[in-house]
Each structure stands twice: as structure tokens, then as C-alpha cells.
Amino acid sequence: MMMESIKLTIDDTPVEVPEGTTLLDAAKGQGIMVPALCHMDLSGIGFHSGNASCRLCVVEVDGRRNLAPACTTLASPGMVVKTRTPRVLGARRINLELLLSDHPKECLSCIKSGHCELQDLAETMGVREISYEGAVSSHAKDTSSPSIVRDPSKCVMCRRCENICREVQGVGVLTAVNRGFESVVVTAFDRDLDQTMCTYCGQCVAVCPTGALSEKDDTESVIRALADPKKSVVVQVAPAVRTALGESFGMAPGTLVTGKLATSLRRLGFDYVFDTDFAADLTIMEEASELLDRLTRHLQGDASVKLPIITSCCPAWVTHLEKRFPDLLDYPSSARSPMQMFGSIAKSYFAEKIGVARTDMVVVSVMPCVAKKAECAREEFATDGNPDVDITLTTRELASLIKRFNIDFKSLPEGDFDAPLGESTGAAVIFGTTGGVIEAAARTAYEFHTGTSLTQVDFHGLRGFEGIRSATIDFAGINVKIGIAHGLANARVLMEEIRKGSSEFHAIEVMACPGGCIGGGGQPFHQGDEAIIRARQKAIYSEDKGKTLRKSHENPHIKRLYEEFLGAPLGEKAHGLLHTHYVDRSGKKTK
């Protein structure tokens, strides 16, 4: 069906847009950036928020008495719209000043300083004084979780967090309560976050315009570790970080900064600059073996085998499983996440190699994720109270650290990761995007199973941004059915099928964040620009393409690790160091 096109006038310019276009988007097409706060549109990855409550986007429409919110008003034929009359500018500013009047004035020391949409709005609207001095709502900070800090006194009631948590994640931790001046977004019964179903995915942090939601800042612990001469400080970086870090230094979205990243970490003073990608290859060795093991036993008629096998690298997903699907804990792969596999190998194999006691080694990870902070705090990932990964930073925290250490990131020379835990294949790189983990597993499982070499390693059927995708791969006569979900609400659909016994899949990949880790809660803020997330995905696939080795089992350092230390995948040693178990965290004593 052809969409009707609509002709209207915006600021004296004739404009033609498809039917159903909002005035906000119609104006944007003309390079007119109408300010918006409660509105955020990432429909390509399943998120749309906005209840036209902030009124910062108002415009004048000829023939209408009241100003109209551009974010929800649809273009109609012959409309005459004005976006910058004194009346419009004045109304917008009053609305903004009212919001600012009860906002805490701690901008200089706020964690969001420099990235705050409220600050940006104040600047673009030319606010120079706040004429209304209202009572400032005060609300206690919630620091109960290892990942996220809530400071509701900075909430401007845009309700983006509530919407993304409920609609995209299907978790529904956050809600607006009360009305009028007292209204604020909190958890049910104002409980601490660690007493809720929260998965720590951090998507609420990713969309919050202000400092009301933020990651727990762990940069100081890293600075202290780096300054301690008795410690060997090891750093590992996740694949998605290199696709986004450049944005924090004004580089174009999708710029790959792998080389500068390695150099910057060395300049920060890390003793060993390694790559989580190495451990991603290791994860594939274990996970692909597990997939084949379950598949073979299933085909031999073993009814006790649980299929589909589900990926387990995403910590928000794992937490969600444990809280929401305690009856299905036999399905996920027992493989630890790459970050935890790295920590485990660094503090055993590598520590032995360089003759350092595990207690004298500090493993720092840099992740696109805030849930990873909660993951590294899990007690099963520690030996005698000493964690395998000591500190986790987000991409944003690393950027902040680089700035604090006075490093001019953009002009850094290219560097490289150290051996042996810095070597990786293209299969590891694509872990950073939705569809990537299962594609990497397919490359290896196929070759393990068939004993033949894959000529075409690109599985295009597994790629994309669709919330739920599926594909069938022919493993020399066996049709392996693969499901992929990103966004926890999508994952729930696939899980309910398993619960009902109607799932047709052999393997499922789940990533909590829309787009996968590239859209992680710890990445530089996208501020509602979907193109940024797409550019990061492109960067991931181009890094994969540029690698000589693109299958995890071909990584020479991985081969060596098994020969020298681990034995065989799924073997006893591998099991102890690289696998884990899951616990019912639903809070239900009895079922």
C-alpha cells in the first residue's frame, strides 16, 4: 500500500512528508531541531517513549488556539506550522524553567555533567536565570545495587526509564507514582533496587536524560589499584567498547578505535593490556562443544537432554532467568561469560606463568554494560573471597578516566594488545552484537561436527535488528534451528515457548540490551539516535571481516591454552574454571 504524502508548511518552507509523520520528524527533515525531552524514538529497536507531558516541543499551528506538542501532533494537509515565534520560544522556556525550578542545582558535580539533556536544553533555549524558585523535591538516593545508582530527586518525569523497562525489557521495575509536584519515578513500594526484579541491564540509565539514573562509579578503585606498586594490574576490554569509545572524544559513531584503545590503556598504567575477545573465543570452544554434546545425545534419543541450549554470556539475561524463569535453569549453557572466563584464566594460568599470587593481581574489565558490575560481585566467581574480576568499568567510565589522566585520545598512536590473552579471531569480535554469539558458535560447531572447513563464514540469516529472529543451518544433514532475541521482553516470548514445550529451536541466543552489547547500558549515550547503534554494528562486522582468523578454534593461543593447561573442552579442568551454575532468585520460598 502506498502511503499518502502530505504537504504542509513549516517556518515558511513547503514540506512533503509521508502520512503519519509527526511535526517533530517533519521539522527534523528540514534541519529544524525542535527540542524534546519526554519523547524518545528508537522504533527500529523496539522502543518508543513519550506521553507529551513535558511540553518543551510546542509549536504554533495556524488556526489552533493552543500550542501543539510537535512530538505527538501529526502533519496534516495544508498545515501551517511555526516553530520559532516569540510565543513558542517563550512557552518552551517557561516549561523548562518550571522543570528546573525544582531540580537540584548540583550540575557541576553531577555524574551526568556534560552529557545531560536537561543541561543541553537549558543551553539551546537560552535559559539564563530561573525565574521560579520552587521547593526542591528531595528523595533518598538508592545505592543498594552493585550496578546502578538511583537519585529520584533529579527525576524530570519523562518516564523513558519506566517505558523501556516495561516495554522493551518486560521487567517493569520502575513506575511513576503520586501526582503533581510529588510525582516521581520509583520502584514498587519504593524498595531498594536489589529487592526488585531488576536485572541491572542499565537500559533505564541509557535513556535517562538527567543524573537520576546512573552507573555506580568505580573509577576511583581503578586509580588506587594502578597506583599500588605491589599489584599487577591486568585489564581486559569487551568487543563492543572499541566500536563506541571514540564517540566520547567526538569521533564519528562507528569509528573503530581498537588501536588507540590499547595505547590508552597502556598509558593509564595497566601492566598487561589484554582483550576479552580472547576469552570470547574460549567461550565458543566450550559453548559450541556443549551445543554439540546436547545435540548428539538428543539425536541418540536421550530424553533427559535439555534443548534448546541458551547462551549465558549476558549477565542481565542470566539474572532475569534466575528471577523470572527459575523452573528453566537447566536450559542455559553452563559456560561462564567471556569476562568471567578471562578473570578465571588470568588468575590461574596467567598468574602462574608470570609468578604472581592471585591476591597480588587485580583484574579490571572494561565493558559496555552496567550489569557486569553485578556479575563480577557474584560469589561463585571468587576463590577464597578473592574475585576473578576485581573491578568493572563501563565504556563511559573508561572515557572519563582517560580524560582525568590528561590523555589526548584522538591523537594517540595505534597500539596492540599483549600476548597471550590479547589474541583473538573475528568470531570473538561479533560477540558485541545481537546474533554474533550464535554466529560465532555456529562457525565452530559446524566444523567440529562435520570435520570439514567452512568456506563461507558469514551467516547473514542470523544478522539484523529484528527483535526475534530465526534461521536454520544445515550441519551436514542435521538442520540446526537457531533463535535469537534481544530485549528481554522478546526473550520472554521464546522462554514461554520452552515452558509450554512448543519451542522448535536447538539453540537460542539472548542479549538483554537492544542491539546487543553495542547498545549496552554502559556505552556513551545515544540520546535517542538509533543511527549510532547501527553504526556500531557495522563497525563490528567490518572488524570481523578484516581479521585473518575468523573462527574461534583457530586462535593459536586458545589451542595452546588447552594443550598446556586446560586439557579438552568440557573436561574436568575446563569445567572447574570455565563453567558455572544458576540459582533460583525468584524470591519464592516454595513453588
Partner 1 sequence: MTFVQAKLSPTAVRELKSICQSFGNDKGELINILHKSQEFCGYLPPDVQEVIAEELDIPVSTIYGVVTFYSLFVMEPRGKYHISICTGTACFVKGAMDVMDEFKLLLGIDMGETTPDGNYSIDSLRCIGACGLAPVVMVGDKIYGRVTPDDVIGILDNYK
Q: Do 384 and 347 form a contact (C-beta atoms < 8 A)? A: no
Ramachandran category for residue 273: left, alpha or beta (phi over 0 → left; psi -120 to 50 → alpha): beta
**DSSP sequence for 113-136:** TTT-HHHHHHHHTT----S--PPP
CA distance 102 to 513: 32
- Single out the residue of 174, 226, 244, 533 in contact with ligand SF4 (rule: CB under 6 A): 174
Distances from the Cα of 102 to the Cαs of 182, 229, 558, 584, in angstroms?
11, 47, 56, 42
Q: Do 439 and 563 form a contact (C-beta atoms < 8 A)? A: no
**What cell numbers appear for 464 in the block?**
539484523
Looking at the Cβ atoms of 88 and 285, the one nearer to ligand FES is 88
Question: In this structure, what are the phi and psi dihedrals at residue 220, rounded to the nearest 5 degrees?
Answer: -60, -40
Examine residue 187 and tell whether it contacts partner 1 (CB under 8 A).
Answer: yes
Q: Half-sphere exposure of residue 471, counting CA atoms within 13 Å on the CB side?
A: 18
Task: Choose the contact partner of 398 out of ligand SF4, partner 1, ligand FES, none; CB within 5 to 8 A by kind.
Answer: none
**Binding string, residues 160-179; x marks residues near partner 1 by CB under 8 A:** --x---x----xxxxxxxxx
Number of chain residues interacting with ligand FES (CB under 6 A):
13
CA distance 310 to 503: 12
**What cell numbers appear for 281 in the block?**
573465543
127 CB burial (10 A radius; 0-12, 13-18, 19+)? middle
Q: How far is the CB of 176 from partner 1 (least distance, A)?
A: 6
Task: Choose the contact partner of 69 out of ligand SF4, ligand FES, partner 1, none; CB within 5 to 8 A by kind.
Answer: ligand FES
Residue 314: name the closest of 522, 552, 79 by CA: 522
Q: Which residues contact 145 (CB under 8 A, 6 or more apart)?
A: 192, 193, 194, 198, 200, 216, 374
Examine residue 282 and tell whether it contacts ligand SF4 (CB under 6 A).
Answer: no
The residues that are catalytic are 287, 290, 313, 333, 372, 375, 380, 517
- Single out the residue of 15, 26, 36, 398 in contact with ligand FES (rule: CB under 6 A): 36
Binding segment for partner 1 (CB under 8 A), chosen from 349-357, 363-371, 519-527, 582-590, is: 582-590
Q: How far is the CB of 29 from ligand FES (least distance, A)?
A: 17
Tell me how many helices (H) and strands (E) the chain has.
Answer: 19, 21
Binding segment for partner 1 (CB under 8 A), chosen from 283-291, 431-439, 526-534, 581-589, is: 581-589
Task: Choose the contact partner of 55 out of partner 1, ligand SF4, ligand FES, none; CB within 5 to 8 A by kind.
Answer: ligand FES
- Single out the residue of 210, 337, 340, 424 in contact with ligand SF4 (rule: CB under 6 A): 210
Q: How far is the CB of 507 from ligand FES (least distance, A)?
A: 41
Residue 126: name the closest of 151, 100, 165 by CA: 100
Q: Do 343 and 363 form a contact (C-beta atoms < 8 A)? A: yes
Looking at the Cβ atoms of 373 and 550, the one nearer to ligand SF4 is 373
Binding segment for ligand SF4 (CB under 6 A), chosen from 19-27, 61-69, 152-160, 443-451, is: 152-160
Instruction: Name residues contacting ligand FES, limited to 277-316 (CB under 6 A).
Output: none
Looking at the Cβ atoms of 4 and 182, the one nearer to partner 1 is 182
Instruction: Name residues contacting ligand FES, limited to 45-64 (CB under 6 A).
Output: 50, 52-57
Q: How far is the CB of 66 from partner 1 (least distance, A)?
A: 24
**Binding string, residues 323-352; x marks residues near partner 1 by CB under 8 A:** xx----------------------------
Q: How far is the CB of 50 from ligand FES (least distance, A)?
A: 6
- Single out the residue of 27, 37, 245, 367 in contact with ligand FES (rule: CB under 6 A): 37
CA distance 369 to 515: 13
Q: Which residues bind ligand FES (CB under 6 A)?
A: 36-39, 50, 52-57, 69, 71
Q: Which residues bind partner 1 (CB under 8 A)?
A: 162, 166, 171-179, 187-189, 195-197, 323-324, 586-590
